[in-house]
Structure 1
C-alpha cells in the first residue's frame, strides 16, 4: 500500500479505538500515524525511509522489505521498548494500533508480509490488491468513510 493509505488506515484504526477507550484522541491518533508509517522503515523510498535514510538503509540491509518490520516480533519489540521508556499509554497504544493497521493493509497486497518472521512464510489475505492500483483507491475511500463516521464528536 502507499503511504497515504497507511496514514488514513492508521487514523481510521485510532479513531475507532478512541470509541472504546478514554484515551486522548489527538495524542492517540498522532502516535497512530507514526505507527502506521513505521513498518516501512525497511524501504528507503517510503515516507519514513526518506526522513531517516541511514536508518532505513541499515534496516533494509539487515532484514529486507516486509520481513522483520512487518511481523508480530516487531510489534512486540515496539511494546517492550515503549514500556521501558514509560511513555504515556496513548502513545504506545497509538503506535501499536497504527503499526497493526499497516501490517493488515500490506497483508492485503499480492506480496503479503512475513508476519511470523523469522519464519519465511508469507502471509496474505484471501483477497489482495495491487499497490497503487484502483482497488487500493477503493480501500482508501472506505478508510476515509470510517474516519468520518467514527470520528464524529471526538474532537
Structure 2
C-alpha cells in the first residue's frame, strides 16, 4: 500500500474504534497518533515515507529484519504497547492511536500479494483472501472509500457538535 492509503486507513480505523471501542471522543491527538502509527510499520522499507525521513534507522531495521517481518507483527505491536505502558502510562490516547494506526497498516498490507509475517519470528505469511496490487486501481478505489468514510464520519461528528 502507498503512504496515503495507510494514513487514510489509520485515520478511518481510529474513527471506527473511537465509535465502537475506545472512549477518546474525537480527540485530535488520538487521530494524529493514529495517522502516525499507520506509517510506523514501514520503517523497515527505506523508500517509504517514514523510511525516507529516518534513513539510518530504516536501513538498520531493513538489513536486520527485512521488509514486512518484525514491524508488521503482533510482537511489534506488543513491544510498542509495553513501552507505552512502562514509560508513558498516562498518554493513553497517544498509545491507543498509535496501536490502532499500526493495526490498520498491518491489515492493509495483509491484503497485498506479499502479505505480512504477523506471527514473526515464525516464517509464516498471513494474507487476506483477496489481493490488492500496491498503487493499482483497486488501491485507488480503497483510498477513495476510506476518504469518503472519513468525510462522512467528520460531518456526522460536526453535526453532533452543532
In the TM superposition, residue 108 of structure 1 has moved relative to its aligned partner by 0.5
- Structure 2 unpaired stretches of 5+: none
- Match of 1:66? 68
User: In 1, Cα distance between the equivalents of 2:155 and 2:82?
Assistant: 33
Kindly provide the CA deviation profile for residues 41-91 of structure 1, in whole angstroms up to 9, marking residues without a partner as x: 000100000111000001001100000000000000010011122241100
- Match of 2:114? 111
Q: Does 1:75 align with 2:82?
A: no
Contact 1:107/1:123 (<8 A) preserved: yes
- Structure 1 unpaired stretches of 5+: none
Kindly provide the CA deviation profile for residues 10-47 of structure 1, in whole angstroms up to 9, marking residues without a partner as x: 11111122223331521111000110000000001000
- Match of 1:4? 4
Please list every run of at least 4 consecutive aligned residues from structure 1 whose deviation after the TM superposition is greater than 6 angstroms.
Answer: none
How many residue pairs were aligned? 155
Q: Let me know the Cα RMSD of the aligned residues.
A: 1.2
TM-score, length-scaled by structure 2: 0.91
Contact 1:19/1:150 (<8 A) preserved: no
Kindly provide the CA deviation profile for residues 71-118 of structure 1, in whole angstroms up to 9, marking residues without a partner as x: 000000010011122241100000000000000000000010000100
